[in-house]
Chains A and B, each alone.
Chain A
């Protein structure tokens, strides 16, 4: 079992989510984050105050996947989050020791397999 952590452009969130859903990957945690990833800073002026904005707003996706889904998940994000310009983001893959579903106490694979409910 792996945790995929992706830092992506804000304007790419919808594209990435759509691509993930189309790849049958549904369990995602989305967090707005700010960071510095080496892209050139922007200069902003508020009346007399000029600042360099060193932090760029990004979105972080955390996705826990069982092994057969990992490669598909990574390639989906790489494909759908890419613009080719500096600042497209990163994908990290880390091992996960244990997962529990709070409602049922399910563990590991059962815990990360989404239960589809009627809307």
Chain B
């Protein structure tokens, strides 16, 4: 990601003021450093990335059982609230304020020093665009723990994760941190292969292993309840990804154009290969398979979207299909209940993409260096560091959450589905048998609700 440093110009008005220049001059100075075209495109891109959360909610929601559809979708939607706030409070500053190689600073906590001024785009827009990335990255984790994690534990987890795991990695890759100098080279992560995908996927896998598998896992068939949701969700993710990758050019320029086309053709290649693999393995092209393939292709092209030719992007999409397909096939028969294959799609896809970027990057297509063995080594080291940090960090955070609330929903709730006991709603209801409670005195409702939750086996 070619981030412009919004913070660095913040001191400019003060200096100018001390030079007794007219206030109009200051206004002009500020206005001139804002690139209107880049700003317009980043505004749009931010909205597109936020919309990916809706796509993810549909994608995940369609793949779970009917009785858990609301819980699953809300695990994505709650990130829009929790992570947006943790991001503006702490995350942005830890990722992008002036700091060392390991972590940013505290100067921008609660957006102190951030305003409409900036270099290229306004500082506030940078916060929003990067915040959307933090939100979608966090929401990705939920796919591994659906149908069993306690919602309160999840809320605490995402608040901690977005600040303590996501923000440092964002600093390493994009905030001038660790990944700027690995083995004498700068690791390329155009739009978030390490920061978003490998990071979320490793955390998801660790969290799934700590939580343990669903009680029905391996004993009963747990089929997707609404495959059209999954297809629509994958389509929305693709649509939003044009902002995710295209916006990461941080300009409305040729790099954005390259990233845009690559975001179209790489998943296209994965889609076709996946269909053929499906055909070879089962004799039929499956809808769930294609929805997954779209996500895999998008993940794989993310680290190199703006640094390679469209033909190279097709190679990335083509190659990524194989390890991801194999991993999903193996995972479904294993005892690892990464329920919606977050690791297979985002981890394996992200690693494949990050490594291939080291080989296929081209200065003719926007990269600062050409692909080489040395760059591949740097990419591999960045991947390994990301994996180690996410895994260890997640272990620590989960340990902390555990001391506050149990991680898993009670067994009876898991059996009947989490929607009714945890959220008090059903995804699909026609109202038959629902009797109005006319006087809603809050204490009375609480009393009835308390009675209910007792029978369902404990607190939500």
B455 within 8 A of A: yes
Contact B425 A52 (CB under 8 A): no
Return A83 CB to nearest CB of chain B, in Å.
8
- B412 vs chain A, min Cβ distance (A): 7
Contact present for B433 and A55 (CB under 8 Å): yes
In the assembly, what is the distance between CA of A53 and CA of B451, in Å? 14
Per-position binary interface string of chain A over residues 30-44, scored 1 when its CB falls under 8 Å from any chain B CB and 0 otherwise: 000010100111111
Distance of A11 Cα from B455 Cα, bound (Å): 17
Nearest-neighbour CB distance to chain A for B315, whole angstroms, equals: 42
Given contact pairs A36-B433, A45-B425, A51-B436, A85 touches B412 in the complex (Cβ within 8 A): yes
Q: Is B424 in contact with A43, judged by CB distance below 8 angstroms? A: yes
**A13, closest chain B residue (CB):** B220
Q: Which of under 10, 10 to 19, 20 to 34, or 35 or more describes the interface residues of A?
A: 20 to 34
* Shortest Cβ distance from B66 into A: residue: A10
Alpha-carbon distance A51/B431, docked complex (angstroms):
9
Q: Are B452 and A42 in contact, with the CB atoms below 8 A?
A: yes
CB-based nearest A residue for B448: A43
Interface status of B20 (Cβ within 8 A of chain A): no
Chain A residues 37 to 85 lying within 8 A of chain B, measured CB to CB, are: 39-46, 48-55, 83, 85
B391-435 contacts to A, CB under 8 A, are: 412, 415-416, 420-421, 424-426, 429, 431-435
**Is there a chain A Cβ closer than 8 Å to B445's Cβ?**
yes
Task: Evaluate contact between A11 and B420: CB separation under 8 angstroms.
Answer: no
Task: Judge whether B449 is part of the interface by a CB distance below 8 angstroms.
Answer: yes
| Residues A34 and B416 in contact, CB atoms below 8 Å apart | no
Judging by beta carbons under 8 Å apart, are A43 and B449 in contact?
A: yes
User: Does A115 belong to the interface (CB within 8 Å)?
Assistant: no
CA distance A34 to B426 in the complex (A): 15
Instruction: Specify which of A14, A36, A52 is in contact with B448 (CB 8 Å cutoff).
Output: A52
Partner of B432, one of A48, A52, A55, A85: A55
State which of A11, A44, A50 has its C-beta within 8 Å of the C-beta of B416: A11
Tell whether A52 pairs with B434 under 8 Å between CB atoms, given A14-B220, A40-B455: yes
Q: Do A34 and B433 have beta carbons less than 8 Å apart? A: yes
Asked if A86 is an interface residue, CB under 8 A from chain B, the answer is: yes
Least CB distance, B322 to chain A, in whole angstroms: 32
- State A53–B220 Cα separation when bound (angstroms): 28
Flag whether B22 is at the interface (Cβ < 8 A). no
- Pick the 8 closest A-B CB pairs, nearest first: A55-B433, A51-B434, A50-B437, A40-B455, A54-B433, A52-B435, A44-B424, A14-B220
Measured CB to CB, the residues of A under 8 A from B are 9, 11, 14-15, 34, 36, 39-46, 48-55, 83, 85-86
Q: B-side interface residues toward A, CB under 8 Å?
A: 220-221, 412, 415-416, 420-421, 424-426, 429, 431-437, 440, 445, 448-449, 451-452, 455-456
Pick 28 A–B contacts, CB within 8 A, sort by A: A9-B415, A11-B415, A14-B220, A14-B221, A36-B433, A39-B455, A40-B455, A41-B452, A42-B424, A42-B452, A43-B424, A43-B437, A43-B449, A43-B452, A45-B424, A45-B425, A45-B445, A49-B436, A50-B436, A50-B437, A50-B445, A51-B435, A51-B437, A52-B434, A52-B448, A54-B435, A55-B433, A85-B412
Known: A9-B415, A45-B424. 18 other contacts (CB 8 A): A14-B220, A34-B433, A40-B451, A40-B452, A42-B420, A42-B421, A42-B452, A44-B420, A44-B429, A50-B436, A50-B440, A50-B445, A51-B434, A51-B436, A51-B437, A54-B435, A55-B432, A55-B434
